[in-house]
Structure 1
Amino acid sequence: MTASASMHVPPGLAQPISVPPFKRSLIGIALAAGLTTHASVQAQTQPAADAIPASSQNAATPSDATSSADKPAPKKESAKTPSRVDQLDRVIITGTQEEGTAPNTGYTVRSTQSATKLDLAPKETPQSITTFTAQRIQDQGLLQLDEVLKHTTGITLVSAGVAGAGRQPVYARTFPVRAVQMDGIMASNFILSGEGDESIGMQDTFLYERIDVIRGSTSLTAGSGDPSASLNFVRKHPYRDRHLHAAVKAGSWNTRRGELDFSTPLNESKSWRARIATAYQNGDHWVDRVNNDSKTLSLITALDINDSNRINLGVTHYDFKLRGASPHGITRFSQIDDAWPEEFKYPESKGKPRYWVYPTSEEERNFNNATPWSRTHRKYTNFFANYEHDFSDNWLIRLSYNHADNVDDRLYGELGTRFFVPWADKANYVADRRHGQNIVNAFDAYLKGTVEVLGRPQQLVVGANSYDVRRKMYGGYAKITEPVSSPDVMVFRCPYMAMDTCGDSPENRTTLGYPISDWNKAGGNVPPEVWKDDDMYTYKYIHHLQRRQTGLYFSTHLQPIARTHLLLGGRWARETQKPVYSTCHNGQVDPTCGKDKPYKATSNPDIRPKFLPYVGLVVELTPTINAYASHTTTYIRDQNYDSNRHYYTKQWLPPIRGVTREVGLKGAFFDNRLDVAVSYFKMVQKDFPFYTMHDVIYRTSNRGLADGYRVYGYEISMAGDITPRWKISAGYVRQRQISPDSYINYSMVDMTDFMASYRAPEKTLKLFTSYKLNPKITLGAGLRWQSATQSQWIPRYYTQSEKQLMKQDAFAIVDVMARYQFNPRLSLALNINNVFDKVYYQHERSYISGAPRNFLLTAAYKY
């Protein structure tokens, strides 16, 4: 964990503790380089100052205005550079250290390594970066990571059903977010999910001290991914001093929650420390018949073996159960084919080609389209270990290991995800069972230090990292065949398919017309498909995947001339993937597929090493304002399985590269307590595989590589303390995505595959602010606004009125907060979300609404 630190060391104090050589060297770097951005040193030469008193190790945060560490320091008597750093006697440092002694009570941080592995202040980082601190999480009463991401600048979260029941992909700058770090270590997005890479928001916020979001291309620290963003989850590491946070919460829909966060030194010298954070929650949902419970645990210990060696060990566990929920809501429009019964059709639909669409009647927000026996169980366990060693005054090595074993299991039946036709009293019905497991092992080792170049100290990081993912997915959709026992249940023919009834393939699974009246009478209690635990997987399919990514990287912070900083880096990346294996039932899905017979690889099994450069330039315009420019890169393997070989050469296509160029201004004001940034960005995909569709036969007629999607826009953000009483975090993003010129955006995707049609809002605004009226009362308010979104799945023959059915209008959500501080330790807070009870939908094609007006009451005790 990186906490901000401000230390005042007067001479003559007792109880000294040793400063590791690497930390001592930072003082010399600051003196030699004259850094003023986030490290200032005032020194008076005296002998024997190699130790800093333990009493001075209090880590003040940007908003700790009342902390003794932030009080004005005594006037310095001299500011001479000593011949030996070890001879400093009186030192005042404002910088960073690995551990603090107190929680961060602000909305920003003084330093972060998330973008480059270099210790840089936000204004020194040549990319857009947002930090969501634990203090802001507490102030807003956010309990799940998906709630945090919804309030994060530049991030969009898409959910077609009840949160936790299915996929919840995260987007930034119109692209999916797939790059994840844990404590700054590249770890793969599979480390946060058992089912796939689109559920990274399904964890408890109580596991983390803060979340850093680095927007743009981030291969240097996060590995492969789209040019969107990477997320760095910083765990709750122990403090050097004892701290306790305990809280009980109660809220809407019978929500009940208890929290305990306790950090303490385990010996007198504080060289051995531990921290435990645990939470339990249960409650219902605004959707009828849905309830959930979750258990969260984090246990982390830190040990300073001696002045030069340190280790950290920890384990986190999250167990989440959801009952009665579906991953998809009722479709907001129905698409009907010519072959379907007449009672399904509008009179005005006659004569339209192939398909037509019409609006689905809107149900109440609490309508549940899932069966009562639907269930989801997520169980994630993560173990990690870190080791640090100081070689000398200038160099440090750090070794890290992460292991995750994540399991997702879900069973559900759902109504109306493709068509919902009240006048015919029919809606489609599907049943599904999925069991997924991701086992992830991630390693990272780097050497970090300083070298003298051109008379100035220059920072350097050199390292290697890798992760290995072993993924297993079992299960599948229930196969629906005739005859059906109920005369009111219809099995529809699959249009334009050479079979009488649809099989269990994803594209053609919605074949059962179920009476809506029967559903309402029975409360959705449709008898479930009978699965046996020992044979359910072979009945459907088995999907195995092993993916490994390795790389060598470096980053440097150079200062060739005064007030100019050059950041150079790069990563050599290599990725391998083993073929997919599948077991089919009686060969009904694929006649060539037998038990344990491997499919041919559906994507390039081996991506050869590629160099991905990182270039950044930062110029200090004034002591508080910097100008910057950057060129960053990333890559992702081709996801278009049907076109991932060149049409003529039959060779594997190269990975898609994402290039981001960004320029902007950053400032740190009010003694670095408030960070402000303005930036312009432009991104493009290189080696993008495209295909065109024949206008008559709707088949691929041409394939190749070209520049892919282009995105450009600008961002304005600020975070921190405007005054010691007034905190704020705000961000406005305007962006536009342009499709490749040679790519016809037409897809035959299944209507229940909601995520394939996502199109990001062009404008978003996220704001939260809190103000301390007096020592007792704190008030806060937040705003989330986004412009209208339009489904990207729009066949060319749709009329304008039909396109409107796939649109989500712009909406704004207002939240408020009030907290009363009875004494320094005890407080009572009230959060009211969606104050004006705005009705909006979380996806432009699904009738699953965002949360109605709700409240959360929190009683907290801390010391």
Structure 2
Amino acid sequence: MKLLFLIALSLLGSVVFAANEPLSVIKGTVYSSDNQPVANATVHVKNTNRTTITDKNGAFSFRKLDEGSYTIVVSFVGAEPVEQTVEVGHNETADINIIVNLSLKDLEEVIIKGTRNKYKNEEVSSSLRLQTPILELPQNIQVISSQIMADQQVFDIVDGITRNISGATRQGHWDNQYANIRMRGSKIPAFRNGMNIEASWGPTAEDAAMIERIEFVKGPAGFMLANGEPGGFYNVVTKKPTGYTKGSATFSAGSFSTYRGALDFDGKLSSDGRLLYRLNLAAQQKDFHTKYNYSNRYMVAPVLSYLIDDATTLTLEYTYQGSKYLSNGNYSFSPKQFADPGIGNDFFYGDPTFEPGRIRDHSVYAYLDHQINSRWKAHAQIAYFNFNMEANSTWLNYMRANGDMPRYWSISGEQGENRFGQFSFSGEERTGGIRHRILMGADFGNKKFWGDFRTILDSIPAAPLNVYNPVYGLPGAIFPVLDRSQDIRVLAGGSNYVSVVSYASAYAQDELAFFDDQLRLSLGLRFTSAETVGKTKAAQINSNVFSPRVGLSYSITKDMAAYALYDQSFVPVAGTNWQGEAFEPIRGNDIEAGLKKDWFNGHWTSSISAYIITRKNALVADPDPDHVVGGQTFQAQLGETKTKGIEVDITGEVLPGLNLNANYALTDSKISEDSRAENIGNVTPNTAKHTANGWLNYRVQKGAFEGFGLMGGVSALIDRHISTTKEPNFPNYFRADGGLSYQKGRYSISMLVNNLLNHQRLLTAGSISNPSNALKAKGAVTYYSYIVEPRRNMRIGITYRF
């Protein structure tokens, strides 16, 4: 409560003393030589640290200036800057227009050429609500740009994204459906445009064509979350209208019958520039390296933005993602070990007889932005998500020592509905020599999920599939027709796969800056009221939680800052254990410190951070083989885990034409408290102690070979644990990729070879299953489940920008 009092006091002081502060302002608009407003231009007040970016109408402003003469500099990557001097009086506003010496078409060419290898980002997206540059934030935030995704020929969120972030790993599971990303000792939730859309079995992995950038926020960041994991979260920022009339077409082809096309249209629908649009389309056919398996996807994402007046903008966004696939996952099974050399890289545990599954995923957003005055702005957004899956699945009942695996066959139906609302106010004020950046608002959410996973055939009436000698082609007549005539809400009613989570929260944060903004103190507090609803009173949890946050950042030099942070987290957990008891909320504390530095005038940046996270009530798979009811498995909660780590990230243009993204993380995550004493001191499941990644892209800048490029990268995961053991029990991982590219004007072409060394057994996920006593009597043995990445494969992509 003392922290809340301090925040309230600082807000009150802002209002009381703001009237006595000088309010000199320089604002203006940047135009091209053909009199078109120029968006995304960099505008800088010369000989100061004041920099901003023009909005989609070419507008910019600088507040809180002393009277005097200033030189305003407008610049673009790859173009000559333009300067203009302006005089501003005491508490006056100077309004200027700056004309650059290029037409809008010429500027688009400059932007395409100048940003084609832009890996470094200096600001977070507006969806994170922060007004402070990344360098000065008291937190480790890493950004994956759309450019690095294009260079790596990424197709969706599960397609190698984690290699670009220190300590982030992907536990490949349902690759046709959703991403399962871990960081700092726990699975991290998925955000989209600043909203926590994490669901029981989702969200659907976003197609790369709809992604502008992905922001990995390390640590709880309670001021941004109504509820979230202490390890952090990733935020997918979707593409919005830019104000430029432009577009691109990309066509790709590759190994395993992969064919893909993506279109991006960006422009104006009205001559006055008030109505803007963005339309992204993508479709792909993609087989897997496993026999018969495939996943065909398509995506439509239109966005409309309307400038109601000079201070208010309304944006509407809709996304539809659909897919048709044969089987979730690319699992292998072995009675002997992980990465069993006797099992081929192309092993498929399903059958081509199975009816394809289908996913339909709809999401709708509405955003309203309003500039209240020169210092304050308001933002509101609401969203609705509707997810539906109709599929079937199989899994082994047990495994025999010779590799036989009798399988059962189930229906797989899912329905999810999420509703969200956010409101926030942010602004700057001054009290004497202290600058305040104030953020306050509220979040609301309601998440509902229904799952129908009834076993239809306890045992498929055919010879068991043998992992060492698989024979496919089951007779279709042995499978009954699946009845989906009833609503899934009815079909799921008697199962354990029904959950409802609702939350409401309010928060406030004040970033106080001292000594000419050199020292910054962030004080934040969030209150969250959450409810998880179950089938019985024992399965229902109500929580009211205060989450404080204190951060400190100090600029050692203009391009180097040190920070320290204390933050708390709170996560309501839906579902029950095998006894029908509700899970307790996950609680976490994070203490960390770090150092950030920009190098060579900001061309590249580096960061190093160290942290300690305490996490209570972590969820793991129930290890007791007798806790399986009708083929349904359950989860259990650990007492407490403690994770310590060090993370290093480097990204940007280290030399002209040479862009680098490299990272390393040491993650030491162990169980510190548990009702089972033998677990204490064991490593947290699904943890890699060492992760290291590097990606280089070099492009010739001039001469006869201008536009030619070389690229390549490596990824390594060392000392891996997939269950609670003291010693590593999962194979290490090392992969190398490389390729060539060429860019000329509006055309680009690239070829990338993944898994250059053709490792046949690169594993992304795994588990060990012990048979119950009843199954042992049938000859069942302990078996290993794991997912193997593809052998050597290639992708070629061609892009035309117009």
TM-score, reference length from structure 1: 0.74
Pick the structure with more strand per residue: 2
The answer for the alignment partner of 1:520 in structure 2 is 470
The answer for the alignment partner of 1:634 in structure 2 is 569
Root mean square deviation, CA, Å:
4.3
Question: Aligned ranges for residues 76-87 of structure 1 at < 5 Å?
Answer: 82-84=89-91, 86-87=93-94
3-state secondary structure, aligned to 2:224: helix
Q: Distance in 2 between matches of 1:786 and 1:717?
A: 16
Alignment CA distance shift 1:264-1:12 (3 Å): closer
The answer for the alignment partner of 2:361 in structure 1 is 380
3-state secondary structure, aligned to 1:808: coil
- Does residue 729 (structure 1) correspond to residue 658 (structure 2)? The answer is no
The answer for the alignment partner of 1:717 in structure 2 is 649
The answer for the alignment partner of 1:452 in structure 2 is 430
Residue-by-residue CA offset, 1:1-21 (whole Å, 9 max, x unaligned) = xxxxxx9979999959799xx
Alignment CA distance shift 1:629-1:90 (3 Å): farther
- Does residue 173 (structure 1) correspond to residue 94 (structure 2)? The answer is no
Q: Distance in 2 between matches of 1:144 and 1:138?
A: 11
Alignment CA distance shift 1:301-1:429 (3 Å): same
Q: Is the 8 A contact 2:499 2:575 kept in 1?
A: no
The answer for the alignment partner of 1:371 in structure 2 is 351
3-state secondary structure, aligned to 1:137: helix
* Pairing partner for 1:786 from 705, 712, 717: 717
- Does residue 398 (structure 1) correspond to residue 379 (structure 2)? The answer is yes
Residue-by-residue CA offset, 1:363-416 (whole Å, 9 max, x unaligned) = 10111110221533221111111111122111111111111111122202345x
Alignment CA distance shift 1:10-1:549 (3 Å): closer
Alignment CA distance shift 1:445-1:519 (3 Å): same
Q: Distance in 2 between matches of 1:363 and 1:781?
A: 30
The answer for the alignment partner of 1:261 in structure 2 is 264
Q: Distance in 2 between matches of 1:525 and 1:138?
A: 43
TM-score, reference length from structure 2: 0.80
- Does residue 850 (structure 1) correspond to residue 789 (structure 2)? The answer is yes
Alignment CA distance shift 1:393-1:287 (3 Å): same
* Pairing partner for 1:419 from 394, 399, 412: 399
- Does residue 762 (structure 1) correspond to residue 697 (structure 2)? The answer is no
- Does residue 607 (structure 1) correspond to residue 607 (structure 2)? The answer is no
Q: Is the 8 A contact 2:317 2:365 kept in 1?
A: yes
Amino acid paired to 1:277: N
Superposition deviation, residue 261 in structure 1: 0.3
Q: Distance in 1 between matches of 2:455 and 2:503?
A: 32
The answer for the alignment partner of 1:501 in structure 2 is none
* Pairing partner for 1:329 from 331, 334, 338: 331
Superposition deviation, residue 623 in structure 1: 1.4
* Pairing partner for 1:244 from 224, 243, 247: 247
3-state secondary structure, aligned to 2:144: strand
Superposition deviation, residue 126 in structure 1: 1.5
Amino acid paired to 2:445: Y
Q: Is the 8 A contact 1:326 1:414 kept in 2?
A: no
Q: Is the 8 A contact 1:45 1:87 kept in 2?
A: no
Superposition deviation, residue 687 in structure 1: 7.2
The answer for the alignment partner of 2:196 in structure 1 is 187
Q: Is the 8 A contact 1:38 1:672 kept in 2?
A: no
The answer for the alignment partner of 2:601 in structure 1 is 671
Q: Distance in 2 between matches of 1:468 and 1:578?
A: 11
Q: Distance in 2 between matches of 1:11 and 1:848?
A: 54
The answer for the alignment partner of 1:750 in structure 2 is none
- Does residue 278 (structure 1) correspond to residue 281 (structure 2)? The answer is yes
Alignment CA distance shift 1:141-1:297 (3 Å): same
Question: Aligned ranges for residues 422-821 of structure 1 at < 5 Å?
Answer: 422=402, 426-478=404-456, 480=458, 514=464, 516=466, 520-523=470-473, 527-534=478-485, 541-542=494-495, 543-562=497-516, 563-580=518-535, 599-604=536-541, 606-608=542-544, 610-637=545-572, 641-642=576-577, 655-686=585-616, 708-744=640-676, 758-774=685-701, 775-792=706-723, 807-821=729-743
Amino acid paired to 2:423: A
The answer for the alignment partner of 1:826 in structure 2 is 747
Alignment CA distance shift 1:241-1:607 (3 Å): same
Alignment CA distance shift 1:155-1:48 (3 Å): closer
Q: Distance in 1 between matches of 2:391 and 2:122?
A: 42
Any gaps of 5 or more consecutive residues in structure 2?
1-26, 54-60, 101-106, 628-635, 768-784
Amino acid paired to 1:781: G
Q: Distance in 2 between matches of 1:835 and 1:332?
A: 26
Amino acid paired to 1:83: H
3-state secondary structure, aligned to 2:715: strand
Q: Distance in 2 between matches of 1:366 and 1:116?
A: 42
Superposition deviation, residue 549 in structure 1: 1.1
Q: Distance in 1 between matches of 2:670 and 2:258?
A: 43
Superposition deviation, residue 631 in structure 1: 0.8
Any gaps of 5 or more consecutive residues in structure 1?
1-6, 94-99, 191-195, 335-356, 490-513, 581-598, 647-651, 698-703, 748-755, 797-802
- Does residue 301 (structure 1) correspond to residue 300 (structure 2)? The answer is no
Q: Is the 8 A contact 1:371 1:412 kept in 2?
A: no
The answer for the alignment partner of 2:11 in structure 1 is none
Q: Distance in 1 between matches of 2:456 and 2:514?
A: 65
Alignment CA distance shift 1:522-1:816 (3 Å): closer
Alignment CA distance shift 1:35-1:433 (3 Å): same
Alignment CA distance shift 1:705-1:519 (3 Å): closer
Alignment CA distance shift 1:403-1:290 (3 Å): same
Q: Distance in 1 between matches of 2:587 and 2:350?
A: 40
The answer for the alignment partner of 1:290 in structure 2 is 293
Worse overlay, 717-726 or 532-541: 532-541
Superposition deviation, residue 733 in structure 1: 0.6
Superposition deviation, residue 818 in structure 1: 1.4
Amino acid paired to 1:187: N
Q: Is the 8 A contact 2:657 2:700 kept in 1?
A: yes
**Looking at CA atoms only, which structure, 1 or 2, has the larger radius of gyration?**
1
Q: Distance in 2 between matches of 1:564 and 1:229?
A: 25
3-state secondary structure, aligned to 2:161: helix
Residue-by-residue CA offset, 1:517-543 (whole Å, 9 max, x unaligned) = 998344355733442223696777444
Residue-by-residue CA offset, 1:664-684 (whole Å, 9 max, x unaligned) = 100122332322101111101
Amino acid paired to 2:332: I
Q: Distance in 2 between matches of 1:81 and 1:745?
A: 71
Superposition deviation, residue 639 in structure 1: 6.7
Q: Distance in 2 between matches of 1:855 and 1:278?
A: 23
Q: Distance in 2 between matches of 1:485 and 1:119?
A: 62
Q: Is the 8 A contact 1:108 1:675 kept in 2?
A: yes
Q: Is the 8 A contact 1:114 1:214 kept in 2?
A: no
Q: Is the 8 A contact 1:475 1:536 kept in 2?
A: no
Q: Distance in 2 between matches of 1:260 and 1:844?
A: 37
Q: Distance in 2 between matches of 1:711 and 1:448?
A: 34
Alignment CA distance shift 1:811-1:17 (3 Å): closer
Superposition deviation, residue 656 in structure 1: 3.0
The answer for the alignment partner of 1:838 in structure 2 is 759
Q: Is the 8 A contact 1:37 1:121 kept in 2?
A: no
Superposition deviation, residue 151 in structure 1: 2.0
Superposition deviation, residue 559 in structure 1: 0.7
Alignment CA distance shift 1:773-1:437 (3 Å): same
